Chain A
């Protein structure tokens, strides 16, 4: 067999199916006919359990980019729940007892996962790490104080119910479900939270929903792994599920690679097997392992397979669904017109002692194209942040299409019909161009949780509708060719443009562009001007833009507002503004006016 055919086999999904089927047969045959000695079988089962743990932790820490150390707690909950059921509740010797106990263990852990997800709404990174850390100690301490499960002495009496076929089945099931989850609307939300949580929220991703789901799914499988572990060892104690256990899982995740299913398979297998192989080194193996990890972090900070995927687990290349979608432009999606789209009055915002915006007012109709200019620090971006809900104004009111949106959350404001771009491009840089656009469809996707986890029901229809719409949008702006490129790898001008297209994908009625021409060369600025005009005409959106490149402002905007010290100092047509004495003063300095 040549390398070429080997490569082809590696890419072909049927190989995976064949391997899985073979795996099932082997997992049954090995213990049945004693093909491998008991010790090797035990290691294989540990590999499977560790794969489940590693992959489910990777969902939170790798795919979602949070830093949770709580997995030992989830595992403990699953292990104890399942063990209690098989020993005390379920009749012994019945076939359904063990799978039911595993499921129950998973559910118990998922319930805890729900609890842990709540603090993650407000805090990120370090503080989530602290909360989950405390969680591990709390679970351990709680179990130690329950005499019914043996307290600190531990719990035993479980039958040896964990067998190779069960471990294999649960491992395959975990890979299947988590992969499905990642390649669904929620999975795109998970990745968006990792890439840029703030931007995700502004694009209509319900980040709270995404976090809750991710924690629930991940902790469920950690609970299942705990159940399997308990019925393999036939003895559990609270001390087994301490922070050291969590650390071990973290090592597997970051060894194999973050945000990679293949990486988790590799990391868990490598870690488990390596520990066994290095057994002759006795104590020194645990000296060697962390050293390897440190070296790995220095030379490959994201792990061996970090952010990459085995071909088998990649998303299936998707063909466009049935014909063109209905169309992406306004003509295809008419909307009721309102006379005044945006009505901002008396808007004031302070940072500490500094009043960044003071008494700002602005009215826009549904077809306006308005520019905001002003020197650095004049409060322009703060106005955008107030309108889109990033900040809550100290005073003032924002009406949008007759609705009071003052102080709402960014997601709600996006749903009301306002989308924005950012001064420093905030694309989901490690995601493809197409995924960037599809993520912005989050709020209008019909796919439910069960459908996302199983890829059944409406999943396919919904996915292809969203994908087609995203592709049409890209095609409309002649960016279809870049659909599978990584957003961060696009040339700068194209990234700016993609950010606008992504905002359009949320179907806004008002588009806020924060310095769209920043860093562009004159040619790119020319193209951008054309682009903005086209967006306005074809998508029937009102546009409000902040810009320093006067050439752009003067040629595309119909009205210009000049901001200085947080208030409008002048407003009018571009021509009026260019010769306005206060504008010259604000820009060029005092003497320019005289």
Chain B
């Protein structure tokens, strides 16, 4: 029983990170129907910014968080404006390839600057509480609480603020939104900034939890977060959150029941099975096709 709870806690920790990254994929898909394949690398940049802040500048937790979030948000907007915006009317595949290109660029740019895996010192003293055989670390608590807090904040922005309303309107019909005076380009940039900031936060939390980082770390984690978004129904914000926790739960459950090397195999097979029965994910719905 304690073992089960212990594993659930681990799933919650990992799921929080997946969910935060998945939100970035899903938000961009929502407004642009574009898969931003560079997003996993945004996450990686967040982890490296965390290293910079903690190991080099010796800054405490909160400034580090702000640096990671703001830095990645800026990066996401810069990429959107310089690489994606010129392609908005080009074939969709060009945008996807560009996103892959941006991702490879970020990986190797980071690699060129920092060729060896880095070890991140703890940003705060990590206390572990033991109670009845259950071990809970302060890092776990911070990770889960901060993620939930950020998701709640996002939910508030999307549901309540003018920007959130505009984002949903742009995702429904860009042209009509512009007719009502919504500056579509600025809304899209804001979407990238928010998605980037969440990715940055995820990068930092991940780096603190699993403190060895390298430039390729965003590939596998990023793809998995993307899968989470798909499981939930890409474009749907609740779906991305739920998907993140589902994927983490599945991965941890597989690791418990089977040799851990089966983790990816089962997780991705389940994805395909899910897509066969619910091709648009848990919350996703197809738009009717017009002939």
Contact = CB atoms under 8 A, between A and B. Distances in A.
A and B touch in the complex (CB under 8 A): yes
Interface of A: 61, 65, 67, 119, 122-123, 125-127, 129-131, 133-135, 137-138, 140-142, 144-145, 151-152, 198, 243-244, 247, 250-251, 254, 258, 282-284, 286-287, 289-291, 293-294, 297-298, 301-302, 351, 381, 384-385, 390, 422-423
A301 B90 contact: yes
B113 to A, nearest CB: 9
Interface in B251-290: 259, 261-265, 268-269, 271-272, 275-276, 279, 288-289
Given A130-B227, A138-B265, A297 B115 contact: no
Nearest to A138: B268
A290 B268 CA distance: 28
Given A133-B223, A254-B97, A423-B291, 8 more contacts: A123-B275, A130-B230, A134-B269, A138-B272, A141-B264, A141-B268, A243-B219, A283-B111
Most buried by A among B33, B100, B107, B230: B100
A374 B271 CA distance: 46
Contacts of B100: 247, 250-251, 290
A105 to B, nearest CB: 22
A283 B109 CA distance: 8
Contacts of A152: 261
B272 A119 contact: yes
A361 to B, nearest CB: 22
Contacts of A384: 291
Nearest to B270: A134
A390 B102 CA distance: 39
Nearest to B230: A130
B98 A284 contact: no
A351 B288 contact: yes
Contacts of A422: 291
Interface string B90-128: 111111111011111101110110010000000000000
B181 interface: no
18 contacts: A119-B272, A133-B223, A134-B268, A137-B268, A138-B264, A138-B272, A140-B264, A198-B289, A247-B104, A250-B97, A251-B97, A251-B101, A282-B112, A283-B108, A290-B102, A297-B95, A301-B91, A381-B291
Contacts of B92: 125
The 3 closest A-B CB pairs, nearest first, are A141-B265, A301-B94, A286-B108
A130 B261 contact: no
B112 A297 contact: no
B227 A301 contact: no
B234 interface: yes
A131 B109 CA distance: 29
A135 to B, nearest CB: 8
B268 A297 contact: no
Interface range on chain B (Cβ under 8 Å from partner):
35 or more
B259 A145 contact: yes
B33 to A, nearest CB: 8
A286 B291 contact: no
A498 B88 CA distance: 31
B275 A283 contact: no
Contact of B83 (A61, A133, A294): A294
A131 B270 CA distance: 11
A298 B83 contact: yes
A119 B275 contact: yes
A326 to B, nearest CB: 34
Contacts of A302: 91, 94
Contacts of A138: 264-265, 268-269, 272
Given A134-B271, A138-B265, A294 B102 contact: yes
B35 interface: yes
Contacts of A283: 108, 111-112, 115
B268 A61 contact: no
Contact of A298 (B87, B275, B279): B87
Contacts of A291: 101, 105
A142 B97 contact: no
A236 to B, nearest CB: 18
Contacts of B102: 290, 294
B225 to A, nearest CB: 12
Contacts of A293: 97-98, 101, 104
A129 B35 contact: yes
A211 to B, nearest CB: 16
A123 B275 CA distance: 10
B271 to A, nearest CB: 5
A243 B227 CA distance: 14
A297 B87 contact: yes
B101 A142 contact: no
Contacts of B227: 130, 133-134
Given A243-B219, A251-B100, A251-B101, A142 B265 contact: yes
Contacts of B90: 297, 301
Nearest to A116: B272
Nearest to A247: B100
Contacts of A351: 288
A244 B223 CA distance: 11
Contacts of A125: 92
Nearest to B90: A301
Most buried by B among A131, A290, A351: A290
B97 A298 contact: no
Contacts of B96: 67, 129
Nearest to A299: B86
A297 B97 CA distance: 8
Given A141-B264, A142-B265, A302-B91, A290 B291 contact: no
Interface string B223-234: 100110010001
A560 to B, nearest CB: 23
Contacts of B33: 126
A384 B230 CA distance: 34
Contacts of B279: 122-123, 127
A246 B207 CA distance: 27
Most buried by A among B94, B262, B263: B94
Contacts of A251: 97, 100-101, 104
Given A123-B275, A134-B268, A298 B115 contact: no
A331 B105 CA distance: 64
B87 A244 contact: no
Given A126-B35, A290-B104, A422-B291, A284 B93 contact: no
A289 B104 contact: yes
A383 B139 CA distance: 61
A385 B291 contact: yes
Contacts of A385: 291
A144 B264 CA distance: 10
B291 A297 contact: no
A226 to B, nearest CB: 20
Contact of B98 (A198, A286, A297): A297
A301 B101 CA distance: 13
A249 to B, nearest CB: 11
B101 A297 contact: yes
B91 to A, nearest CB: 6
B112 A284 contact: yes
Contact of A145 (B103, B107, B262, B275): B262
Contacts of A287: 105, 108-109, 112
B216 to A, nearest CB: 8
A244 B219 contact: yes
A423 B234 CA distance: 31
Contacts of B101: 251, 290-291, 293-294, 297
